[in-house]
Chains A and B, each alone.
Chain A
Amino acid sequence: MFASFMTNTWITATIIAVTAGILGFFVVIRRSAFAAHVLPLGTFPGAAAAQLLGVQPLWGLLVFVAFGVVLLQQLERLGRKDVAAGLVLVTIMALGSLFLSMSRAYGEATFSILFGQLLGVSRTQLLAVAIISAFVIAGVICLFRRLLLQSAFPELALTRGISAGMTNLLFLALLGLVTATALPVVGALLVFSLLIAPAATAQTFTAHPIKALALSIVLSLVVIWSAIVFSFWTNWPIGFFVGATGAVLFSAARTFRYVRSRWWSRQRFVEPTHPDKEHLDHPHHQDADEHHHH
């Protein structure tokens, strides 16, 4: 499992997990799971197009990600956000099916592109993943306050002169870059599982942004490392284990939270309530609003 031919896989997977854990945090607080699903799948025909044209696959992926981000942004203006995301996805996938029908060799690679391939991460691929991930993490650090504010309090962000459209575009661009790099390893269909499950699990435990972010990275590493181990033992596709461990983690966290809240509410029931608290009137609406956002 730790043989020399696996070294590149381990390093690449670790880099991807860290980046996905960070971006996943924002995917979950912005409730953009659909976009996180659309972009990886949208890059899928990019590899096919690159193969038809005879250029490096990564270039094809990047071009299609850019195409997907712009199309998503434009269609979201036209009408309902989720309908737009769905239509962007099927349009790009339809192109993918067209490319599939044109090139025989690509048909055989379909499975590994959709569901990931553990082996055969080359040194140049590793380098590309490292550079792009470093760029994305730098981008998140620069945009951290802006993204957090815009995601949690869009109105407040607007009064500070942060435009929702521009922030969304920047966020989608970062998301697109990550998916393009993670795609060959985890597979188009399950990149989004890596983006959502660890971050959603982390946020069931803590509402504090930095703690949630750190926990999300740790869980993301747990998911991808265990997926590699299981996939290596069983020879089954890595995507299956990413999806399954993600779902198990999330369900366990939810069950834990449910049990804990039941226990707490029973404890609190015994405690005497403060009578003077009830007489405090709350004239300020901001307070209620804030509670709503949390």
Chain B
Amino acid sequence: MLTWLAQILHSEFLNSAPVQTALLVGSGAAVVSAVIGVFTILRGQAFAGHALGDISSAGGSASFLLNISPLVGFLGIAAIAAVGMEFLGVRKIREQDIATGIVFGAGLGLSSLLLYFDITSTSTTGAAVTVMFGSIFALSPDLVWPALIVAAIALATIALLYRPMLLSVADTELAVMRGISIRWVGLLQLLTLAVASALGCLTVGSLLATALLLGPAGAALHLCRKPGVAILWAVALGLLAVWVGIWMAYESYYWFPTPWPVSFFVVAIILMLYLLSVPCQYAFRKFAAARTADNAGS
């Protein structure tokens, strides 16, 4: 184990600047996405979460066009879309699907227009692929600190609002009785979701940011019932997927004639973790049932 670790440390993997940037930004994205992902799934907003990631592709393409930092672009559009969805009524379950769908369609349309301008004005076709599928090894190192600061702000918001957020997910009426403003908690939650999807867009691209959001959190919710423990599991699984994914993509330079993309490895690992969590869920349930039966017997 140690020799294996030393071998990695001695190789140029950890010493290369793009890998360091990728690991830092990727870890930030994985942690924020995993934490907010648990709330998103519990609230039944998986589609909205996915839509935010995809819509922020408009921000990514705008940043290409205006020559500003992609983080600003992704974050700006994701925040606008989050506010728009909250006010169109994503909270009503019956309306949610369609309201999200309509905002989603309009956002993607805008994204297509901006990407078209990118392509015609710069005559490069790479913009579409970069925005949609991400290219984490090409991130500028200047992005690391802003990305980590934004991630820290999002995590602090969740920590401060942890109890009201959980209560409004679990029992809306009780939360209202306790004097919690559902609208504000919901809006702040969607804004942290916007941060998560913006960071996810930088890491694995707009179309795949959903993987970081839903995969680790979905698997974690299979493994345990308590939201607090589920969040820890989700963070661990998310970090595992991102780190191993980046390492495999780096090593794939030696494995295949053309290197395979980071996004592919990250998503493939997340899917495997999710599928593995399903049999674990049954095992845990059996174990828990047996233990309660034992306790009742003794």
Could you list which residues of chain A lie within 8 angstroms of chain B, going by C-beta atoms? 28, 31, 33-34, 36-37, 41, 78-80, 82-83, 85-87, 89-91, 93-98, 100-102, 107-108, 110-111, 114-116, 187, 189-190, 192-193, 196-197, 200, 236-237, 239-244, 246-247, 250-251
Contact with A along B69-112 (1 / 0, CB 8 A): 00000000000000000000000001001101111111111111
Besides A31-B97, A190-B105, 14 more A-B contacts (Cβ < 8 Å) are A33-B47, A80-B41, A80-B46, A83-B214, A90-B208, A91-B267, A94-B266, A97-B263, A115-B116, A189-B54, A189-B112, A197-B101, A246-B105, A251-B102
Highest count of chain B CB atoms <10 Å: which of A189, A196, A200: A189
**A28-B98, A85-B46 are known contacts. Are A97 and B261 too (CB-CB below 8 A)?**
yes
Q: Which of chain A's residues have a CB closer than 8 A to the CB of B107? A: 243
A237 and B258 alpha carbons, distance in the complex (Å): 31
Say whether A247 contacts B102, CB under 8 Å.
yes
- Sorting the interface of chain B by its residue count into under 10, 10 to 19, 20 to 34 or 35 or more gives 35 or more
Say whether A114 contacts B132, CB under 8 Å.
yes
A244 and B58 alpha carbons, distance in the complex (Å): 14
* Interface assignment of B201: CB less than 8 Å from any CB of chain A: no
Say whether B109 contacts A86, CB under 8 Å.
no
Say whether A33 contacts B263, CB under 8 Å.
no
User: Which chain A residue has the least Cβ–Cβ distance from B93?
Assistant: A31
A102 and B256 alpha carbons, distance in the complex (Å): 10
**A85-B46, A94-B263, A97-B208 are known contacts. Are A240 and B101 too (CB-CB below 8 A)?**
no
User: Which chain B residue has the least Cβ–Cβ distance from A77?
Assistant: B278
* Interface assignment of B215: CB less than 8 Å from any CB of chain A: yes
A91 and B268 alpha carbons, distance in the complex (Å): 7
Could you list which residues of chain B lie within 8 angstroms of chain A, going by C-beta atoms? 41, 44, 46-47, 49-50, 54, 94, 97-98, 100-113, 115-116, 119, 125-126, 128-129, 132-133, 205, 207-208, 210-211, 213-215, 218, 222, 258-261, 263-264, 266-268, 270-271, 274, 278
User: Which chain A residue has the least Cβ–Cβ distance from B107?
Assistant: A243
Q: Which of chain A's residues have a CB closer than 8 A to the CB of B133? A: 93, 96-97, 100
A33 and B105 alpha carbons, distance in the complex (Å): 11
Tally inter-chain residue pairs, CB-CB below 8 A. Answer: 180
Least CB distance from A158 to B in Å reads 21
Which of B101, B103, B109, B208 lies in contact with A241, CB distance below 8 A? B109
Which of B106, B207, B271, B278 lies in contact with A247, CB distance below 8 A? B106
Least CB distance from A237 to B in Å reads 5
Say whether B222 contacts A187, CB under 8 Å.
no
Which of A31, A80, A115 lies in contact with B218, CB distance below 8 A? A80
Say whether B47 contacts A34, CB under 8 Å.
yes
A247 and B84 alpha carbons, distance in the complex (Å): 13
A83 and B268 alpha carbons, distance in the complex (Å): 16
Q: Which of chain A's residues have a CB closer than 8 A to the CB of B263? A: 94, 97
**A80-B41, A240-B112, A247-B102 are known contacts. Are A111 and B119 too (CB-CB below 8 A)?**
yes
A78 and B41 alpha carbons, distance in the complex (Å): 15
Q: Which of chain A's residues have a CB closer than 8 A to the CB of B126? A: 107
Which of B98, B116, B260, B274 lies in contact with A237, CB distance below 8 A? B116
Which of A85, A236, A244, A247 lies in contact with B116, CB distance below 8 A? A236
A31 and B267 alpha carbons, distance in the complex (Å): 27
A190 and B54 alpha carbons, distance in the complex (Å): 12
User: Which chain B residue has the least Cβ–Cβ distance from A187?
Assistant: B112
Say whether B113 contacts A192, CB under 8 Å.
no
Say whether A192 contacts B271, CB under 8 Å.
no
Q: Which of chain A's residues have a CB closer than 8 A to the CB of B101? A: 33, 36-37, 192-193, 196-197, 200
Highest count of chain A CB atoms <10 Å: which of B47, B208, B268: B47
Q: Which of chain B's residues have a CB closer than 8 A to the CB of A111? A: 115-116, 119, 125, 128
Q: Which of chain A's residues have a CB closer than 8 A to the CB of B106? A: 243-244, 246-247
